[in-house]
Amino acid sequence: MLVLALDTATARITAGVVELGADGPPVVLAGRDAVGARAHAELLAPAVAEALAEAGRTRRDLDAVVVGLGPGPFTGLRVGLVTAAAMGDGLGLPVHGVPTHDAVAAGSAGRVLVVTDARRREVYWSLVVDGVRTHGPEVTAPAELAARLGPDGDIGPVDTVVGDAAHQVCGGDGTPGPTPAGLVAVAAPALRAGTAPGPLVPLYLRRPDAVPPGAPKTVTRA
């Protein structure tokens, strides 16, 4: 099965062509990463085209699309979701959404804290224990999250801290974002079973900055 994996939930724009067999881990045939916190729309399409070209495949060769659902900032996240939905509709492909934090933690054992940048001096976070998310995703201030860790906190101790905002909480390796293999690994059970995908529901976790304009104000003469 040939799968296109996309994610735009972080500043890292991810696109990859992945082969998924009947068993075993996903195999990445080609991948592209671009960094641009506010350039997702400009960078994603070229990344997809380059990954397909490197893999020697075309869009018509694809069997499915997997896309990260976030959490992530509104504008960047919706670029990936709209692109995935449009490709699925145009090519007649199933489109499976997976939580981005699950994909970041894919393949890691133990108690893994995933922390990504939410801007506004906040972070998105999830706790994944041996591949199963037990807390989150939530959005909070880094100091508040740090206070909840350790033996006295409600989250408890963690073995690893990953994600592009790990350093804001308690160090960590600064993993920039999900890999194509991680995205497909999370969706693998559904892909292999032929399960029909559910709706793509983005994990914004908070309202967008833009709001509808209010009613025009009445102007009176003095």
Which residues does the chain have with pLDDT short of 70? 37, 171-174, 207-222
What does the block give as tokens for 194?
Answer: 């032929």
Give the C-alpha separation, 155 to 152, whole Å.
9
Q: Is the pTM of this model over 0.85?
A: yes
pLDDT value at residue 36 = 72
pLDDT value at residue 213 = 60
Give the C-alpha separation, 211 to 202, whole Å.
18
Q: Are residues 163 and 120 in the same domain?
A: yes
Give the C-alpha separation, 142 to 138, whole Å.
12
Q: Are residues 126 and 189 in the same domain?
A: no
Residue 7 burial (CB < 10 Å; 0-12/13-18/19+)?
buried
- On the question of a cis peptide bond just before residue 71, with omega within 30 degrees of 0, the verdict is yes
What does the block give as tokens for 97?
Answer: 């959404």
What CATH number corresponds to the domain at position 54?
Answer: 3.30.420.40
H helices then E strands: how many in the chain? 5, 9
pLDDT value at residue 219 = 60
Tell me if 61 is assigned to some domain: yes
Could you tell me where the beta strands, DSSP code E, fall in the chain? 2-7, 12-19, 27-35, 64-68, 95-98, 111-119, 122-129, 132-140, 160-162
Tell me if 62 is assigned to some domain: yes
Q: Residue for token digits 């380059």?
A: 50
**Domain membership of residue 21 as a residue range:** 2-100+177-193
What's the chain's Rg over C-alpha atoms?
19
pLDDT value at residue 122 = 97
Q: Are residues 108 and 49 in the same domain?
A: no
Tell me if 96 is assigned to some domain: yes
CA 87, 178, 198, 43: dihedral to nearest 10 degrees? -30
> Domain total for the chain?
2
pLDDT tens, 37-70? 678 889 999 999 999 999 999 999 999 999 999 9
Q: Is the dihedral of CA 198, 202, 207, 212 positive or negative?
A: negative
Give the C-alpha separation, 121 to 78, whole Å.
21
Q: Are residues 93 and 111 in the same domain?
A: no
